[in-house]
Amino acid sequence: MNYRIIDQDQYYRSGVFRHFSKDCKCSTSMTARIDVTALKEYSDRTETKFYINFLYILSKVLNSREDYRMGYLWQSEELICYDQVNPKQYIFHDDTETCTPVYTVYDENYEQFYKNCQKDIERTKQTHEYFQDDAHHPNWFDASYISWLSYDSLNIELPDGYLFFAPIINWGKYREENGRLMMPVSVRMNHAIADGYLIANVYRLLEQEINTFVQH
């Protein structure tokens, strides 16, 4: 895990950062539907898992821009940017109706990521423990699939004043709309380091990366 310290006075969002980290601590979130028709067709054609393919694309998007890799060291009040962020996904256990976190290191190489992710999922299925290892995984973002519902809106609430900068991403079931498969995706980020533009940009990048991915 590597990161660099951001000079808060030179940070391009310094005024916004100061306001939303000191005067008005809050987060912002959006839910929108993205077109995953091509990704579903690719997954079926290649006999690969849609879920892992989307997780790879999501991880690639969040690693593509520094704004999505920000962190805050509250002990030293330092704003930082990680070299890489990794997905912390969740496995649902039907027998207990509980979840277990799965830590998978992002690898830009798709084949390697796919293989590692499969192994991590299978290994985690062997335990029903709910363990959060944030001390050893500070540069991880939440990636949670809500498989039971194609929802319209979702909000994630964190304690007031808690400067948690890692993105929290949720997505639900895709559903057919006018002949296309549309999937709800929710993005939550801290307002100190992200605004409406940066969150909306995640959706644009997801669809862009899906189009690139299905052609490889």
* Tens digit of each residue's pLDDT (9 = 90 or more) over 126-143: 888 887 776 667 899 999
Report the alpha-carbon distance of residue 47 to residue 61 in Å, rounded: 23
Of the candidates 216, 189, 212, 213, the one whose C-alpha atom is nearest the C-alpha of residue 201 is 189
Domain boundaries, the chain: 27-68+84-213
- Among 22-31, 108-117, 175-184, which stretch is predicted with the lowest mean pLDDT? 22-31
For the chain, what is the mean pLDDT?
A: 94
Identify the residue whose tokens are 């400067």.
163
Helices (H), 19-126: 37-46, 50-62, 110-124
Structure confidence at residue 129 (pLDDT): 82
Helices (H), the chain: 14-18, 37-46, 50-62, 110-124, 196-213
Structure confidence at residue 55 (pLDDT): 98
Structure confidence at residue 160 (pLDDT): 63
For residues 117 and 57, the answer to whether their CB atoms sit within 8 Å is no
Amino acid at 2: N
Report the alpha-carbon distance of residue 82 to residue 80 in Å, rounded: 7
**Percentage of the chain surpassing pLDDT 70?**
97
**CB count in 10 Å sphere of residue 200:** 13
Report the alpha-carbon distance of residue 97 to residue 84 in Å, rounded: 32
Write the pLDDT tens digit of every residue in 61-91: 999 999 999 999 988 999 999 999 999 999 9
Q: How many residues does the chain have?
A: 216
**Percentage of the chain surpassing pLDDT 90?**
85
pLDDT value at 9 more than 70:
yes
For residues 89 and 170, the answer to whether their CB atoms sit within 8 Å is no
Structure confidence at residue 1 (pLDDT): 61
Report the alpha-carbon distance of residue 102 to residue 91 in Å, rounded: 7
What distances in angstroms separate CA 6 from CA 13, 20, 28, 131, 139, one per listed residue? 11, 16, 22, 31, 16
Q: Where are the beta strands (DSSP E) in the chain?
A: 3-6, 27-35, 70-73, 78-82, 86-93, 98-103, 140-146, 168-172, 175-177, 180-190
pLDDT value at 186 more than 90:
yes
Amino acid at 171: W
Q: Strand 140-146 to strand 168-172: parallel, antiparallel, or no bridges (unpaired)?
A: parallel
Q: What is the mean pLDDT of residues 17-32?
A: 93
Q: CATH homologous superfamily for 27-68+84-213?
A: Chloramphenicol acetyltransferase-like domain (3.30.559.10)
Write the pLDDT tens digit of every residue in 33-66: 999 999 999 999 999 999 999 999 999 999 999 9
Structure confidence at residue 159 (pLDDT): 73
**Band of the pLDDT at 21, cuts 50, 70, 90?**
very high
Residue 193, burial from CB neighbour count under 10 angstroms (0-12, 13-18, 19+): buried
